[in-house]
């Protein structure tokens, strides 16, 4: 299976990256190919909401989303990876998600597999409620096939994360993909 990870963390040495690396290790060992797209480094403009694309392109904006679109549509699975910022995904990842608008129909028809990997400083059980609902709504709307989530509670720093159960959970999640 070809897996695309949309890495939405501006901190490349942070907790999100640690969990993604473990996920990638497990998935690769299971025979899958994984490509990590660092959306923070890409030139991605915010959606203008003009709907000139008619939900199937082309987009009036010429930026890295043209390349990312091709990679997503060529994949079997899409992983959203983000730190929790004010109870939602990072703005960098949200900008990418908003731009799905110009290939909405193609993405919906594909019925791609999906997953969410997220980390938060807070360890309360309610911490990820809003992000989980946003992800599940996105999955339902785009007719994705949710494979699961790794939600790293209490993973505010790399030291906190590296010693957590979420490292193994991310690895096992990747390794167990079919």
Provide the strand spans (E) within the chain.
Answer: 2-7, 33-38, 77-83, 113-119, 145-152
CB atoms inside a 10 Å sphere around CB 165: 10
Contact between 98 and 17 under an 8 Å Cβ cutoff? The reply is no
What is the domain-level CATH number for residue 62?
Answer: 3.40.50.360
CB proximity list for 138: less than 8 A, separation 6 or greater = 97, 144
Alpha-carbon gap, residue 66 to 111, rounded angstroms: 20
Q: How many domains does the chain have?
A: 1
% of the chain with per-residue pLDDT over 70: 100
Nearest alpha carbon to residue 124 among 78, 168, 159, 156: 156
pTM here is 0.97
Task: Please give the residue range of the domain that contains residue 46.
Answer: 2-175
For the cut 90, the answer to whether the pLDDT of residue 113 exceeds it is yes
3-state helix, strand, coil in the chain (%, to 5): 40, 20, 40
For the cut 90, the answer to whether the pLDDT of residue 57 exceeds it is no
């Amino acid at each position: 299976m070809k897996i695309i990870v949309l890495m939405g963390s501006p901190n490349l040495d942070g907790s999100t990256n640690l969990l993604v690396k473990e996920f990638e290790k497990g998935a690769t060992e299971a025979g899958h190919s994984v490509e990590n797209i660092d959306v923070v480094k890409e030139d991605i403009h915010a959606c203008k909401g003009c709907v000139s694309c008619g939900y199937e392109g082309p987009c009036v904006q010429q930026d890295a989303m043209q390349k990312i679109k091709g990679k997503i549509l060529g994949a079997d699975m899409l992983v959203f990876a983000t730190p929790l910022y004010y109870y939602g995904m990072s703005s960098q990842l949200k900008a990418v998600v908003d731009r799905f608008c110009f290939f909405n129909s193609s993405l919906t028809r594909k019925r791609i597999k999906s997953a969410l990997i997220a980390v938060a400083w807070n360890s309360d059980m309610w911490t990820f409620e809003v992000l989980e609902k946003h992800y599940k709504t996105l999955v339902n709307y785009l007719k994705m096939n949710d494979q699961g989530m790794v939600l790293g509670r209490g993973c505010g720093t790399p030291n906190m994360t590296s010693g957590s159960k979420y490292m193994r959970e991310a690895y096992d999640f990747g390794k167990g993909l079919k």
